[in-house]
Amino acid sequence: MSAQIIAIDAMGGDFGPRSIVEASLACLSATPSLYLTLVGQPQLLEQLLAQHRGVDRARLQIAPASEVVGMDDKPGVALRGKPDSSMRVALELLRDDKVQAVVSAGNTGALMALSRHVLKTVPGIDRPAMVAALPTQTGYCQLLDLGANVDCSAEQLFQFALMGSVAAQALGIARPRVALLNIGTEDIKGNQQVKQAAALLQGDSALNYIGYIEGDGLYRGEADVVVCDGFVGNVLLKSSEGLATMIAARTEALFSSGTFSRLAGALALPLLKRLRSELAPARHNGASFLGLQGIVIKSHGSAGVEGFQSAIQRALVEIRADLPKRLQESLPDRLP
Please state the rounded mean pLDDT for residues 86-97. 97
Residue numbers of the domain that contains 11: 1-125+291-336
Q: What is the pLDDT of residues 265-294, one digit of tens each?
A: 565 556 555 555 555 545 557 789 999 999
Do residues 333 and 256 share a domain? no
pLDDT at residue 65 is higher than 90: yes
Q: Give the domain-ending residue among 283, 306, 328.
A: 283
pLDDT at 284: 57
Do residues 154 and 250 share a domain? yes
Do residues 250 and 163 share a domain? yes
Q: What is the pLDDT of residues 127-182, one digit of tens each?
A: 899 998 888 888 889 999 888 888 899 999 999 999 999 999 988 898 999 999 99
Do residues 143 and 223 share a domain? yes
Q: Which residue has the higher pLDDT, 18 or 258?
A: 18
Do residues 111 and 5 share a domain? yes
Residue type, 2: S
pLDDT at 260: 61
Q: Which of 101, 125, 68, 111 is nearest to 334 (CA)?
A: 125
Q: How many domains does the chain have?
A: 2
Q: How far apart are CA 78 and CA 107, in angstroms?
A: 9
Q: How far apart are CA 153 and CA 132, in angstroms?
A: 21
- Phi first, then psi, for residue 191 (nearest 5°) are -85, 180
Do residues 267 and 336 share a domain? no
Do residues 185 and 79 share a domain? no
pLDDT at residue 310 is higher than 70: yes
Do residues 216 and 185 share a domain? yes
Which residues are paired to 227 by β-bridges?
144, 180
Query: Considering the chain, what percentage of its residues have pLDDT values greater than 90?
Result: 53
pLDDT at 47: 93
User: CATH number of the domain that 102 lies in?
Assistant: 3.40.718.10
Q: How far apart are CA 316 and CA 6, in angstroms?
A: 8
Do residues 275 and 231 share a domain? yes
pLDDT at 249: 73
pLDDT at residue 123 is higher than 90: no
pLDDT at 13: 80
Please state the rounded mean pLDDT for residues 298-308. 84
Query: Considering the chain, what percentage of its residues have pLDDT values greater than 70?
Result: 89
pLDDT at residue 209 is higher than 90: yes
Q: What is the pLDDT of residues 28-61, one digit of tens each?
A: 999 999 999 999 999 999 999 999 887 888 999 9
Q: Which helix (H) or strand (E) holds 173?
A: none
- Phi first, then psi, for residue 96 (nearest 5°) are -90, 10
Q: Give the domain-ending residue among 256, 283, 310.
A: 283
Do residues 117 and 157 share a domain? no
Q: Give the domain-ending residue among 260, 283, 306.
A: 283
pLDDT at 263: 63
Q: Computed over its alpha carbons, how large is the radius of gyration of the chain?
A: 21
Q: Which residue has the higher pLDDT, 286 or 320?
A: 320
Q: How far apart are CA 36 and CA 56, in angstroms?
A: 10
Least confident of 43-47, 137-141, 299-303, 330-334: 330-334
State the number of CA atoms in the 13 A half-sphere of 112 facing the CB: 22
pLDDT at residue 305 is higher than 60: yes
Average pLDDT, the chain: 87
Do residues 141 and 247 share a domain? yes
- Phi first, then psi, for residue 137 (nearest 5°) are -65, -25
pTM higher than 0.85, yes or no?
Answer: yes
